[in-house]
Structure 1
Amino acid sequence: MEYLDFELPIKELEEQYERACNIGEESEVDVTATCKQIEKKLQEKKKQIYKNLTAWQRVQLSRHPNRPYTLDYINAICGDTFLELHGDRSVKDDKAMIGGLGKIGDQSFMFVGQQKGYNTKTRQYRNFGMANPEGYRKALRLMKSAEKFNLPVVCFVDTPGAYPGLEAEERGQGEAIARNILEMTRLSVPVIVVIIGEGASGGALGIGVGNRVLMLENTWYSVISPESCSSILWRSWEYKETAAEALKLTAEDMKKQKLIDEIVKEPLGGAHSDRDGAFKAVEKSILKAFEELKSLSKEDLISSRMDKYLEMGVYQD
C-alpha cells in the first residue's frame, strides 16, 4: 500500500494496529482492548483527514497508483460479458483509448474510456492515458455503432490530456476532439459520462459530452492541470497548490457551478482503499442515470443534451 504525504498519520496508526495484533498472536497477552482503541483512533483520523481535503490533495488522490482505472470498472461491473473492440478503421488501434460492448444485468451498454497503465511497461503501452487522434476516432466509431443498435453509451474519463506530440497534431488531434464534441451532442441514445480520475482539457471533453455527467468524489475536471497552470502564471510548479484552489476543479466545485450532475461518493480513504465499494457505487450511479434517461425520446435526448451545454457559463449578449 502506497501512502501520500498527508496520509502518513494513517500509515503510522495502521502500523501500530498491525504490531499490536501481531503481539497478541505471538504471545498469550490479551491485546484486544488495545487493538480496538487503535482501530477507533484510526477511523477517527481517517474521517478527520478525508473530510477536510484541499483541492490539491484531491488531485493527488485522483492520481493514486492503486486507484482503479477504466478496465477495472468495466470488468467489475460487466464481468465476463465485456467484449473489447479495436481500431479506428483508418490508422491503428490506440491503446490509451479502450471501448467495447458489455452488460449490466440484462441491459447492454457501449463502454468507452481512457486507460492508464499499472507499471512502467504498461504505462508506456497505454501512453499514460493520453490518446492520439485515432483514439478519439475509435471512440466516435464505437459511439456511432451504439447509436445504430440503439444502445446507451457510458464514457469513463481518466486522462491528463490528449497526447500533445507532433505526429498527433499532424494527424489532426484538434479536429478529432472537436468532431467528437460535435457528434456527441447529436447522438440519439443516452450518454452517461463518469469522471473516475483526472479530467484534463480537451482530452477529457473528447468523450465528455453527455446527458448525465458524474464525478467521483476525489477526482478533478478542468481546462488545465494545476502544474501547467502554475508554470504558465508563475513560471514554476511550486504554486500548483494555489493553482488547484483557484481553478475550482474538484467535484464539489463542479457541482456548484452546475457543470456536472452528480457526485459519486467514494469509500472512506478513496476508491483505491475499497475498490469493490467504488465499483458498486459507480454501477449504481450508472443504472440510476440510465433509468432517468431510457424513457426519453431521441429528440428529447438530443435537445436536453444541447440545452445542458448551452446553459453552462455566465455571459451577456
Structure 2
Amino acid sequence: MEYLDFELPIKELEEQLEKCQLIGQESNVDVTDACKKIVDKMEETKKEIYGNLTAWQRVQLSRHPNRPYTLEHITNLTDGNFLELFGDRNFKDDKAMVGGLGKIDNQSFMIIGQQKGINTKMRQLRNFGMANPEGYRKALRLMKMAEKFNVPVLTLIDTPGAFPGIEAEERGQGEAIARNILEMVRLKVPIICVIIGEGASGGALGIGVGDKVLMMENTWYSVISPESCSSILWKSWEYKEKAADALKLTSKDMLAQNLVDGVIPEPLGGAHYDKETAFKNVKEYVMKGFNELKDLSTTDLVAQRMDKYSKMGHFNE
C-alpha cells in the first residue's frame, strides 16, 4: 500500500501493529491488549484524518495509484460480462478511451470511460487517460449505436484532461468534444455519468453530459486542475492547495451547486481501501438512477435533460 503525505500517521500505526503481532508470534508474551489499543488508535486516527480532508487532499486521493480505474470498475460492475468494442471508424482506436457492451444486474448498458493504466508501460499505452479526438469519436459512435438499439449509456470519467498535443488539435480535438456534448444532450436513451477519479476540463465533459451525473466521494470535477490554476494565477505550482479550495471542485461542493445529482460514498480511506464495497456502492447508485429514468418517454427524457443543463449557472439579463 502506498501512503500519501497526510496518511503517514496511519502508516506508522500499521507498522507498530505489525511489530506487535510479530512479537506475539515469536514469543510467549500475550500482546492481545497492546495490539487492540493500536487498532483502536488507528481507527480513531483514520476517522480524524478522513473526516477532515481538504480539497487538495481529496484531489490526491482521486489520483491514488491503488485506486480502481475504469476497466476494473467495468469488470466488477458486469461480473466480467463485458464485450469491448474498438475504433472510431475514421482514424484509429484510442487506447485512452474504452467502451463496449456489458450487463449490470441483467440490464444491458453501453459502458464508456477513460482508462489510465496500472503501471508505467500501460500508462504510456493508455496515454495517461488523456483521449485524442478519435477517442471521443469512438465514444460517440458507441453512444449512437446504443441509441439505435435502445440501450442505456453509462460513462465512467477519470481523466486529467483531453490530450493537448498539436496532433490532437490538428485532428479536431475541440470539435470532437463539442460534437459529443451536443449529441449527448439530445441522445434518446438514458445516460448515467459517474466520476470515479479525476474529472478535468473538456476531457471529462466529452463523455460527461447525462440525465444523472454522480461523483464518488473522493473525486473532483473542474474546468482546470489545481496545479494548472495555480500556474496561471500565481505563476507557480506552490499555490495548488489554495487553488483547489478556490475552485470548489469536491463532490460536496459540486452537489451544493447542483452541478451533479448525487455523491457515491466510499469506504473510509478511499475506494482503494475496500474495492468491493466501492464497486457495490457504484452499482447501487447506477441502478437506482437507471430505474428512475427507464420509464420516461424519449421526449420527456431529452426535454428533462435539456432543462437540467439550461438551469445551471447564475446570470443577469
- Which residue of 2 is the match for residue 254 of structure 1? 254
User: SS of the residue aligned with 2:161?
Assistant: coil
Structure 1 CA distance for aligned equivalents of residues 281 and 35 of structure 2: 30
- Which residue of 2 is the match for residue 195 of structure 1? 195
Amino acid across the alignment from 1:171:
R
- Cα deviation, 1:161-218, whole Å, max 9, x if unaligned, reads 0000001000000000000000000111110000000000000000000000000000
User: SS of the residue aligned with 1:315?
Assistant: coil
User: SS of the residue aligned with 1:300?
Assistant: helix
1:59 aligns with 2:76: no
- Which residue of 2 is the match for residue 41 of structure 1? 41
Amino acid across the alignment from 2:217:
E
- Which residue of 1 is the match for residue 85 of structure 2? 85
Amino acid across the alignment from 1:197:
G
Amino acid across the alignment from 1:67:
R
Amino acid across the alignment from 1:134:
E
- The TM-score with structure 1 as length reference comes to 0.99
1:204 aligns with 2:204: yes
- Which residue of 2 is the match for residue 236 of structure 1? 236
Matches within 5 A, 1:1-317: 1-317=1-317
Structure 2 CA distance for aligned equivalents of residues 187 and 151 of structure 1: 11
Structure 2 CA distance for aligned equivalents of residues 128 and 106 of structure 1: 32
- Cα deviation, 1:78-136, whole Å, max 9, x if unaligned, reads 12310000000000000000000000121110000000011111100000000000000
- Cα deviation, 1:222-252, whole Å, max 9, x if unaligned, reads 0000000000000000000000000000000
User: SS of the residue aligned with 1:269?
Assistant: coil
Structure 2 CA distance for aligned equivalents of residues 105 and 218 of structure 1: 25
Unaligned runs of at least 5 residues, structure 2: none
User: SS of the residue aligned with 1:100?
Assistant: strand
Unaligned runs of at least 5 residues, structure 1: none
Structure 2 CA distance for aligned equivalents of residues 143 and 185 of structure 1: 12
Structure 2 CA distance for aligned equivalents of residues 102 and 31 of structure 1: 49
Amino acid across the alignment from 2:250:
T
- The TM-score with structure 2 as length reference comes to 0.99
State the Cα RMSD in Å.
Answer: 0.6
Amino acid across the alignment from 2:40:
K
Farther off after superposition, 283-292 or 20-29: 20-29
| Count of aligned pairs between the two proteins | 317
Deviation at residue 256 of structure 1 after TM alignment: 0.5
Amino acid across the alignment from 1:71:
L
Deviation at residue 24 of structure 1 after TM alignment: 1.1
User: SS of the residue aligned with 1:10?
Assistant: helix
- Cα deviation, 1:246-279, whole Å, max 9, x if unaligned, reads 0000000000000000000000000011111111
User: SS of the residue aligned with 2:146?
Assistant: helix
Farther off after superposition, 74-83 or 95-104: 74-83
Amino acid across the alignment from 2:73:
Y
Amino acid across the alignment from 2:182:
L
Amino acid across the alignment from 2:105:
G
User: SS of the residue aligned with 1:195?
Assistant: strand
- Cα deviation, 1:277-296, whole Å, max 9, x if unaligned, reads 11111011101101111111
Deviation at residue 27 of structure 1 after TM alignment: 1.4
User: SS of the residue aligned with 1:72?
Assistant: helix
Deviation at residue 77 of structure 1 after TM alignment: 1.0
Structure 2 CA distance for aligned equivalents of residues 284 and 80 of structure 1: 17
Q: Which runs of 4+ in 1 moved over 6 A?
A: none
Amino acid across the alignment from 1:263:
V
Amino acid across the alignment from 1:148:
K
Structure 2 CA distance for aligned equivalents of residues 105 and 253 of structure 1: 31
Structure 1 CA distance for aligned equivalents of residues 269 and 60 of structure 2: 12
User: SS of the residue aligned with 2:36?
Assistant: helix
Amino acid across the alignment from 1:78:
T
Amino acid across the alignment from 2:115:
Q
